[in-house]
Amino acid sequence: MASEMQNENPTILSSADLPTRLRASVSHKNSTYGSEFFAFALPSLTDGTVKFSDNSPSPSESESDDDLMEEPIDEQEIFDLISTISDPEHPISLGALAVVSLPDIAIKPSLPNVPDSPLRTVTVLITPTITHCSLATVIGLGVRVRLEQSLPPRFRVDVQIKEGTHSTADEVNKQLADKERVAAALENGTLMGVIAKMMETCQ
């Protein structure tokens, strides 16, 4: 089915080395028994006494501080959205192939002169695994589709090939930026099939 692979043996990053978000670890004082580990190992210790003690379920109260804290969309979140897309050639994620990387994602206000405007522009630079990769457009399109499906309407998406990583970067960038050509591409059943397959691995 597949024609000749363009890059048979790309370099792969170990998943442990990909950037991830560190969850603020729950501070020890929160748990009655002072130890997350024991609370985890013996889950039954945590309920009973505490929860039943007063009739209004208290956990939601203690959560509410956390609940009210806003977590704005940041670069890491964009990375998490697109790094799980798989490469059309290999069953490997774009993150592991370093096609997308955290430093190459930027979120900026779309209208810097209007400070209150909620509009944001996301710029993603993609780095093809080899400089003559003809699939760069497809990858770019995949990233674009994924972000447009997953970001709220106030976000503009801008996907580009990173400077100096592709022989025909300008050409590809023009295609990716051209709304009508993108729209036309998305009408193409075969192409959408490829992109849908790439996005199967996004959970």
Partner 1 sequence: MSALQTFMLVVDHDKQEARQIAERIAQDVESKKTTLVDIVQSLGSYINDDDPLLRGKAVSYLTAVIKALPPKFLTRQQVQVLTTFYCDRIEDAGAVVGIDTLQKLDRFTKDMAEEVAKALFENFSTLQSRAQSQRFQVYQLLNEMMSNHRAVLHEMGDTSLIGTVDLMTGEKDPRNLMLVFSILKVFMFEWDISNHVEFLFDSVYNYFPITFKPPPNDPYGITSQDLKDRLQDCISSTSQFAPHAIPALLDKLDSTSQNVKKDALNALIACINSYNPDTVSKYSITIWETLKFEILNAQEDFLSDLSLKALNDIAKRLSEGVTQISDQLPLAQYLRPITKECNEQLREPQQKQAKPAQQILKAASEGSPASFSLIVQVVVAPLLTLYQGADGITKQRALLETLTILFESAITVFGEWTTRTPEVLAENPLLEFKDQFSEILGQALMGTVKEEVSFRISALKGFLRLSTLRDFFHDSEIGLFVQYLNEILLKEESVGRAELKKEAIAALADISKHQPRLIMDITFPAFVATLPDFDDGTDTSYIPTLESLAQISVEKAIFETLVRRLLNKLSLLLQKGQPGSAAYPRAILLTIFYVMNQRKLEGDPGLEMYYDKIVVAMCRSAAATASGKAKNNILSDPTVLEILGRLCNLIVRSLPRSKQDEVTKNIYTLFASPDDFQPVPFAQSTSENQQRTMILSTYLLAGLPADSALPHSSPNISDLLSDIVKRSVNGSEPATQLAILRHVALLANKFLPKSDLGIATSLLESFIPLKTATTTESEPIKTIFWLSKALILRLAPSTTKILTSLLSLLSSPSPQTSTAAARGFAILLKDDDILSPTNGANIRLLANQRVFTTLIPLISSNIREINITSSSETPAPAPVCQHIKPAHLTALSGILSTISPTLVMPELPTLLPLLLQSLDLQSPDSTSQAVRAATLQTLSVIIRESGVSVIEECGHVQSLVSRLLKTAEYTPSSPSLSPNGGGEGEGKDGEHLINGPRLRVDSLRCLFLLAQTPNAENVPVVAKAGKLSPLLPVRNQVLRALRFVLDDPKRDVRKAAVDARGAWLRGVDEATEDED
Q: Is 3 in the site for partner 1 (CB under 8 A)?
A: no
Q: Tell me whether residue 152 or residue 164 sits nearer to partner 1 (CB atom).
A: 152
Interacting residue with partner 1 among 3, 4, 24, 48 (CB under 8 A): 48
CB of 149 closer than 8 Å to CB of 114: no
Pick out residues in 55-94 that bind partner 1 (CB under 8 A): 55-57, 60-61, 63-64, 67-68, 70-73, 77, 81, 90, 92
CB of 131 closer than 8 Å to CB of 165: yes
Q: Is 8 in the site for partner 1 (CB under 8 A)?
A: yes
CB of 109 closer than 8 Å to CB of 117: yes
- Please tell me whether residue 120 adopts helix, strand or coil conformation: strand
Calpha distance 51→54 (Å, rounded): 7
Calpha distance 53→47 (Å, rounded): 10
Calpha distance 37→178 (Å, rounded): 53
Q: Tell me whether residue 49 or residue 190 sits nearer to partner 1 (CB atom).
A: 49
Pattern 26-45, binding to partner 1, x per CB under 8 A?
A: --x---xxxx-xx--xx-xx
Q: Is 53 in the site for partner 1 (CB under 8 A)?
A: yes
Calpha distance 145→158 (Å, rounded): 11
Binding residues (CB under 8 A) for partner 1: these are 8-14, 16-17, 22, 28, 32-35, 37-38, 41-42, 44-45, 48-49, 52-57, 60-61, 63-64, 67-68, 70-73, 77, 81, 90, 92, 149-154, 196, 199, 202-203
